[in-house]
Structure 1
Amino acid sequence: MTELLEQRELPHAARVVNLTDLAGHLLTDASTALGLTEVSLGDLQLLIAVATLAERLHGPLPAVPSAHHLLTSYGGRSPRLDAPAVDPADRSVTRDQLFRFLQLDGAGRSAAEAALSRLTERALVLPSAGGRVTVPILVHRQAGEGGGYGRPAEQLLTEAFNAPEIHRIAQGLGLAKARTRDEAQRQIVDVLRDAKRVRAMVAEAPPAALDLLDKLVPGPPLLRTHCFVSRYGGFYPAAGGKFTFREGGSGDPGTDWLAARGMVLPVDEDLAELPREVADALRDHDRAPSYQSAPPRVEGTVEIPGGAVESQAQAALAEAASRVELMLRQMAVQPLAVRKAGGIAVRDTRRLAKAVGLPEEQVRLWLDLANNADLITPCAEEPGAPARARGRTRRPEPQPPARMLPTERYDEWLAAAPAQRLLPLVATWAVVPEVFSHWPDDNDTPVALIAPEDGEAVDLRHAVLEALATLPAGHGVATGKSARARATALAGLVATAAWFRPTALARGSWEEERVEATLAEAELLGVVAHGALTPLGHAVLGFLRAGAHRYFPAVPGAGPALRDHPALADAVRQLSAALDVLLPSPQTTARFQADLTAVVAGSGAPELTDLLAACADRESEGHAVVWRITPATVRRALDSGWDAAELLARLADVSEGGRPLPQPLEYLIKDTARTHGRMRVVRSACCIRSDDEALVSELAAARALAKLGLRRIAPTVLISTAEPEATLAALRSAGYAPVLEAETGTTVIEKARREHGPNRMPSLSGARPRHGKGPSTAQSLAGALLAGR
């Protein structure tokens, strides 16, 4: 019950207080449509077969006019689009009838029985007595579209034509002249419903018409043609949405022959549709409808050496953990500006990419994932109060743009182990409705921080992972071979993925581009390696199967509590365990070398990284991280409050194997500390003092400090025209090592200002992006309904 309610997101206005209300909600078209988005092609074909058989046994459903026809017929007013009430039970079929219709026995029948049970749990097959199969009315209405059929002739004729065109078609069919339009239309419909007469006419059709029918009968039933024009002229159909025949014909004899007999009818400008009755008359009904109970095998796979998948996944995850940490640390120190038009400025993205040594497209991906994982957030400056002059309000000063800042969750994230730092990013990638790396418009400049709004992205991602899960052990998709082999492999992967989510994959070149982008993202995250699912990939698939995507913008595993969601909590534990296995424990020691470098073999623990970042610069990345210690970096540590003895002791504590620090490193720290603080910047506007009179004379004469307007007022004191912060910056830029002194004479410890933005991620119960929050959580509502409350 809980799973069903989670899947069928209850709209905010829904009133569900008992099982009768629940049944009413589940039978609505909107609820049924949601359920159909998560079924496989085999299950969808089974549902269509039930509806198709029901039409043969019980006749067609009452026609529902199209929205376009109703709107134009009502003069632009919004009419009610409610379908005529039909009881699904009146259109049920028996299981034996269904299995005979599909020509199933043995294993095929067993697979269909299992599918019916699965669909019953999803309320897409409704409870029925006597072994009958009943499906919601929406399935009956969509069966024609799902089976490649067009709409009924009566509906198409009514919506498309006025009386002159109806009489013209009746004449083309050789019918006696009717007194009224309605009588002529009934005669046309009777002819098209007579399968023998339709087949007899087609037997005499010209070859061009037969060629068109060969393409239209299997579906889709739409044809681009110039045979019809809007009755009132113009590019779009005018009031009433009616059409007439183009004078002189379309230029295609085959289309004109079909149009004259009502076998193709206009539905839009330059677009015609084959009526359902014509397609039904020309199809081979002795052949069973398609029912593919299992996914097709992925073509274009290759063998993978043993252990290669895990090895590549470990390397990708280690690289990701290191680079993302470095990127977010860099961004915390120097926040990125958010453009007024949205997104991060390209120059800021390039600067960050250069600083962390990553391609721009990867930086954009990590920024988008971090933003949706609620680790960073755009924050605007507080607007200042408008100044007043002579009783009038001045024009407000331009406000600074918004900036990307770490959220309150960032500090906790930074203190976690590498595997736990990647957990929210991997979970976010799984559920975010966007393929960030796919930028289809070549003329549009890619930017980070885009709004995730691709409603089919999660289904596509889920389908791709499901397709990869069908590969035999030791095999992967050949994504790294030649362009031709890669194209073949992608096409095979798309074909298999489409079986799992037929409503999400439309099959086309652009679809393969999205799949390729999805695979590239998955490889960066260690979800896919060598074209196969990694252990982490299997955990991500389980995470999606548990329904994690239904809660976005909340991301299970990235913040909100999971106490009331045991299935999701278990899926997050599996995800976390997979990351722990693939990512080794963080390093707590470093190897200090005589060339003043420190090497960390692997990912460093947060405490070690913080220590090295305070007194060294990160020089290179990879499986081992190299830090470079220089006089400038030691001065930076001393500026932030360390003293030489404390710094040396702390570095010795983290030295690999307890080895003593190299002498050059000890000398560097002690020598830098000896000169550190020889001059002091006094809080005023502003003084510089030093006990070294020669140094004061040197500062007073330095050209690099001329902008400070220094003046010597005593043998050991200079005054500056600049503020203390600017004076400190200028002295350090010129190569000196000043410290800031308070009015009391004590040294002021300078700490970088760390700004934070608020957490934005909603609770799981409040995350319902499609329809808004329901009347209660699915779990509590399910319990209340089953208890009869």
Structure 2
Amino acid sequence: MKAAPPATLAEWLAAHTDTELVALLQLRPDLAVPLPASMAVLAARTEQRASVLRATDELDTLDFAVIETLVLQGAADQRSPNPLPRAKLRTLLGDRVPAAALDASVARLLGRALVWGSDAGLHLTPSAQEALPWPLGSATELPDALTEPEITAALIGLSPQERGLLDKLAATGPRGRTRDAAPGTPEDRPVQRLLALRLLNWIDEETVDLPISVGQLLRDEPVTDPHVLTAPQPALRKQGTTDVNAAAAGEVGELLRHSASVLDVLGQAPAPALRSGGLGVREIRRIVKQTGIDEARIGLIAEVLAAARLLDKGSPEPLADDGTEDFWAPTTTTDAWLAVVPSRRWVVLAQAWLDLDRFPWMIGLRDANDKPLAALSAELRNVHAIRDRRAILGLLAEYPAGNAVTAPDLGRALAWRQPRWRRHYRLESVERTLAEAETLGLVARGAVTSAGRALLHGRPEDAESEMAAALPEPVDHVLVQADLTIIAPGPLTPELQDRVSLVADVESAGAATVYRLSDTSVRRALDAGATAAELHNLFTAHSRTPVPQSLTYLIDDVARRHGRLRAGMAQSFVRSEDPALLAEVLAAPVSGLLALRAVAPTVAISQAPLGEVLEKLRAAGFSPAGEDSSGAIVDLRPRGARIASRNNHKPSWRPNPPSPEQLQALVSELRAGERAAHTRSSQTVRSDGSRTTTTATINLLQLAARTRRSVHIGYVDASGVASQRVIEPLKVGGGQLDALDPVTGAIRHFTLHRIATVALVD
């Protein structure tokens, strides 16, 4: 015998299996908090407006067309519902969408309890009508609107007054009231001209309405047609996966180099934080001047470094003494990050950007007060940033590897998939998000890279391996030129990179980096403890070209003068094996600045710090070298300021959803409460079912345990939540009741003083 269709939503939910209820709570986790006492309570929650609106955020255009059809057919009418048979729904929409897609849409709505019932009659949750992203009838009635090219052409010829009227309606709401809509109004009035051009719809003598497509175009949203029930198919541009990964590797190389440069500049001179907490334009321009990096790129890099905890705001050590409370400076984790392989460094930055709850591309835009938004300022934070970013890249990653999709096509596809969020996929937003993704190496040439695809799917180890394979292998040689330049034909090995950077300055960077040797750079290497022999050996061993004689002369000449004059601590001292040289120093004006005093023909002392002594002597034209107490040359280069890294992570952008195991336990509790609500009790401690004394409660529970009878109890847990349940007492003692839960078969433990009511079950 065929079962009768459910009469109420609660009955329909009660007929679900535990697996189906768990799936419902995974899709709508707000229904489980707090735990509903019965199916009637769960059913009431599924119809609450706020919950319904949240549940419809992920629905696509076809899903909303089904909802609209059910509304128009009366399936959402609470007073006299008219459930719609599934067969009739297929008749109404089947000419515009395949049957399989329509059935899948109905299944999505049933799975979210937005639609309930059987094939004989489908009901709609009344609040679902309020979630429609367009006026009622847009998806079911035949469209009579201008196409996108027609709208674009019509907008070109508008006067400023007419365009301003349309822009206002697009920003504030599609419906407007005006006396110019009345018949007989002169045709040259702005409203009448817009009505004639079909850029406005006439509602009545005092009301006009902005067509959906016109409003979308004015707001720079993807122009979508609610009547089209099949997803748009973007034009794919096929490219080689190897070429895409290689292009991304080039961007990653630049990203890592620029990130290291920004950290180095801020380490040498931390940037004072703005009063609002951001990084000021003046400081960004200082970084631009010292690094040569584009200003917009520095803003993005600063945001990513801060998200990765490599850059932070606070009081760095050593602390700048200029009255500023907070500075932006590298953290103590920076040195460890710089020491790992490039692919690992990239994963840290790329993952930080994916999880960044901010929009870096908004830097420089104007806020409500017409002030530019600063990098690292609180105004860039947006609760939708992570969701929007992952939606854009997630859709792009759905296409086969190497396939590129344009930003407009991505925006249209996303707007069809999530029409309630279509304003988030404006062309500017999609384009700038893709541009940031290309800078980070997740996208290249319009396609998701292999490493980016792995990272989007939550596999950072695979992403690191893919990026390591795409990045060029480090080289262990350089090309020394006769003009005292050094060409690195690729990324150098870490050891060679450190040694070359010590003795030469970067002149130009890219796929091949050019370094420049000079007196200053060679002296810097000697100051760090290198010897002339070690520098000669460096170029002899690693240069694929003959070492020019000019370089040999340069190293020998600087080394000959270097270290003849030495400075130490007295607070500081200056010594030289050449008394004439020391006498020359003492006779120079710098001697007075440092308050040098001779204590021997070859030694003078000063109360100035050693670093200051070295700096001023070098500025005066001398070449001193720092030494320690044993006479060995020490590296006194500044290491840069650092801020202590904070171990505490910022809270997640959204709460963690409950696990399937937790939801299964909640469903079991719900089943127990439902069973208790429908169980009849015949004997109670009192005539009203409430308990009298603890002794009476214990006696009844002990009786039930001896006779193996079920009891109906009212229980209040430690959180104060009351529930009803039917159990089989097993043991009573020690202030605790051990009982069998007949629904789950598990042994449960109840505190006796929390049992509010108890009754034997018939």
Quickly name the TM-score band, shorter chain normalised: 0.5 to 0.7
User: Counterpart in 2 of 1:447?
Assistant: 374
Code of the residue aligned with 1:410 in structure 2: it is: T
Code of the residue aligned with 1:224 in structure 2: it is: G
Q: Is 1:586 aligned to 2:474, yes or no?
A: yes
User: Counterpart in 1 of 2:348?
Assistant: 424
Q: Give the secondary structure class of the aligned counterpart of 2:313.
A: strand
> TM-score when scaled to structure 1?
0.62
Q: Hey, what's the Cα distance between the residues in 2 that align with 1:101 and 1:343?
A: 56
User: Counterpart in 1 of 2:230?
Assistant: 294
Cα distance, 1:428 vs structure 2: 2.9
Q: Hey, what's the Cα distance between the residues in 2 that align with 1:730 and 1:16?
A: 74
> TM-score when scaled to structure 2?
0.64
| Equivalent residues in 2 for 1:773-784, closer than 5 Å | 773=655, 778=659, 781-782=662-663, 784=665
| Equivalent residues in 2 for 1:636-655, closer than 5 Å | 636-646=524-534, 655=542
User: Counterpart in 1 of 2:575?
Assistant: 689
Given the superposition, is the C-alpha separation of residues 531 and 371 from structure 1 closer, same or farther in structure 2, using an over 3 Å criterion? same
Contact 1:111 1:293 in 2 (8 A): no
Deviations 1:378-418 (A, max 9, x none): 1136999xxxxxxxxxxxx9742322222343233212222
| Equivalent residues in 2 for 1:23-172, closer than 5 Å | 29-53=49-73, 56-59=74-77, 93-104=84-95, 108-118=98-108, 123=112, 125=114, 133=122, 138-143=127-132, 147=136
Q: CA RMSD in A?
A: 4.7
Contact 2:264 2:640 in 1 (8 A): no
Code of the residue aligned with 1:114 in structure 2: it is: A
Higher normalized contact order (CA 8 Å, seq sep 6+, divided by chain length) = 1
Q: Which consecutive unaligned segments of at least 5 residues does structure 2 have?
A: 1-18, 139-171, 181-188, 194-202, 211-224, 670-743, 745-762
Q: Hey, what's the Cα distance between the residues in 1 that align with 2:429 and 2:604?
A: 65
Contact 1:43 1:115 in 2 (8 A): yes
Code of the residue aligned with 1:98 in structure 2: it is: L
Contact 1:317 1:525 in 2 (8 A): yes
Cα distance, 1:623 vs structure 2: 0.5
User: Counterpart in 2 of 1:336?
Assistant: 271
Q: Hey, what's the Cα distance between the residues in 2 that align with 1:741 and 1:507?
A: 61
Q: Hey, what's the Cα distance between the residues in 2 that align with 1:453 and 1:319?
A: 26
Provide the identity percentage: 28
User: Counterpart in 2 of 1:435?
Assistant: 359
Given the superposition, is the C-alpha separation of residues 713 and 312 from structure 1 closer, same or farther in structure 2, using an over 3 Å criterion? same
Q: Which has the higher mean CA deviation after the structures are superposed, 27-36 or 351-360?
A: 27-36
Cα distance, 1:51 vs structure 2: 4.5
Q: Hey, what's the Cα distance between the residues in 1 that align with 2:341 and 2:604?
A: 49
Aligned pair count reads: 582
Given the superposition, is the C-alpha separation of residues 252 and 321 from structure 1 closer, same or farther in structure 2, using an over 3 Å criterion? closer
Q: Is 1:521 aligned to 2:436, yes or no?
A: yes
Given the superposition, is the C-alpha separation of residues 714 and 413 from structure 1 closer, same or farther in structure 2, using an over 3 Å criterion? closer
Contact 1:523 1:529 in 2 (8 A): yes
Given the superposition, is the C-alpha separation of residues 14 and 118 from structure 1 closer, same or farther in structure 2, using an over 3 Å criterion? closer
Given the superposition, is the C-alpha separation of residues 340 and 52 from structure 1 closer, same or farther in structure 2, using an over 3 Å criterion? same
Given the superposition, is the C-alpha separation of residues 597 and 777 from structure 1 closer, same or farther in structure 2, using an over 3 Å criterion? farther
Q: Hey, what's the Cα distance between the residues in 2 that align with 1:146 and 1:759?
A: 52
Given the superposition, is the C-alpha separation of residues 625 and 454 from structure 1 closer, same or farther in structure 2, using an over 3 Å criterion? same
Deviations 1:669-708 (A, max 9, x none): 4543443322222322443221211211221233466533
Deviations 1:352-378 (A, max 9, x none): 123222110011111111111222111
Q: Give the secondary structure class of the aligned counterpart of 2:507.
A: strand
Q: Is 1:373 aligned to 2:298, yes or no?
A: no
| Equivalent residues in 2 for 1:478-493, closer than 5 Å | 491-493=408-410
Contact 1:375 1:409 in 2 (8 A): yes
Q: Which consecutive unaligned segments of at least 5 residues does structure 1 have?
A: 63-89, 150-219, 229-249, 255-262, 275-288, 385-396, 478-488, 544-567
Q: Hey, what's the Cα distance between the residues in 2 that align with 1:95 and 1:786?
A: 29
Q: Which has the higher mean CA deviation after the structures are superposed, 39-48 or 496-505?
A: 39-48
Contact 1:466 1:497 in 2 (8 A): no
Contact 1:687 1:719 in 2 (8 A): yes
Q: Give the secondary structure class of the aligned counterpart of 2:382.
A: coil
Deviations 1:22-71 (A, max 9, x none): 88877655454444333333334334444444xx1452689xxxxxxxxx
Contact 2:310 2:334 in 1 (8 A): yes
Q: Hey, what's the Cα distance between the residues in 2 that align with 1:621 and 1:129?
A: 67
Contact 1:368 1:450 in 2 (8 A): no
User: Counterpart in 2 of 1:411?
Assistant: 335
Contact 1:700 1:710 in 2 (8 A): yes
User: Counterpart in 1 of 2:196?
Assistant: none
Q: Is 1:717 aligned to 2:717, yes or no?
A: no
Cα distance, 1:100 vs structure 2: 2.8
User: Counterpart in 1 of 2:290?
Assistant: 355
Q: Hey, what's the Cα distance between the residues in 1 that align with 2:568 and 2:467?
A: 52
User: Counterpart in 2 of 1:86?
Assistant: none
More strand by proportion, 1 or 2?
2
Larger radius of gyration: 2
Cα distance, 1:311 vs structure 2: 4.6
| Equivalent residues in 2 for 1:592-611, closer than 5 Å | 592-611=480-499
